[in-house]
Amino acid sequence: MEINQIQFEKSSAVYTECPKTSKAEYAFIGRSNVGKSSLINMLARQKNLAKTSSQPGKTQLINHFIVNNHWYLVDLPGYGYAKVGKNMREKWEKTTVEYITKRENLTCVFVLIDSRIPPQKSDLEFMQFLGQNAIPFVIIFTKIDKLSKTQLEKSSDEFLTEMEKYWAELPPVFYSSATKTDGREDILRFIADTNKNITQ
């Protein structure tokens, strides 16, 4: 699948403000500074579609982008560390939880994991939350260009081994580099195949 057209539709502070639609939605989320906006821009082949920043916590709202007038890419606020007050952080978390658990046309959540760091409690807990609520999700290891092949294998194996302590079956896994566009075709192919299964 190729993205021929993508445009920002709206930002929502709460899930009830999201677009009234039945189109499939694919949400992207991860710890602050995981490279989420850069990944979205890479998928869209646009430099400034999603706002990137070296300052964690840039995404504060639920951002909807309509793709090929067929499905939605959704940019969610990150979780974990961000230089904001506790009340603001709790507000973001509530917004995200309500969207994930109540948005009926949410098709899949892409959980972004920084390939350079050890397994983080917040990532593992978030995926457990998705499992407990029967929310389909996949994993994307980001920033793989920062590691050698051996380092990447060790890092991802460590993370997946940690997951196997809690999961009988692991979700699909993708590997990406926003700077080298690694993983782009695989991720978009997964979305295209999922959309076909929905319409069958």
The one-letter amino acid code at 21 reads: T
Return d(Cα 112, Cα 162) in angstroms, integer: 16
What is the domain extent for residue 144? 6-199
Output DSSP code: residue 29: E
Sign, CA torsion 31/66/90/137: negative
The one-letter amino acid code at 187 reads: I
Strand partners for 108: 26
Block means of pLDDT (10 residues each) for the chain, length 200 residues? 93 93 96 90 91 56 95 88 55 83 96 95 92 96 97 97 93 97 97 86
Per-residue pLDDT, 179: 94
- Work out the end-to-end distance of the chain between its first and last CA atoms, rounded to an integer number of angstroms: 17
Both tokens assigned to 44? 């869209």
35: in domain: yes
1: in domain: no
If DSSP codes are grouped into helix, strand and coil, which group holds residue 88? helix
If DSSP codes are grouped into helix, strand and coil, which group holds residue 159? helix
Q: Which H/E stretch holds residue 12? A: strand 6-12
17: in domain: yes
Per-residue pLDDT, 88: 54
Torsional class of 194: left (φ above 0), alpha (ψ -120 to 50), beta (otherwise): alpha
Per-residue pLDDT, 83: 52
CATH code assigned at 136: 3.40.50.300
Q: Which H/E stretch holds residue 98? A: helix 86-102
Question: Which residue is listed with tokens 């050698």?
Answer: 148
172: in domain: yes
Cα–Cα nearest to 124, from 111, 110, 133: 111
Per-residue pLDDT, 54: 47
Domain count, the chain: 1
Return d(Cα 123, Cα 189) in angstroms, integer: 25
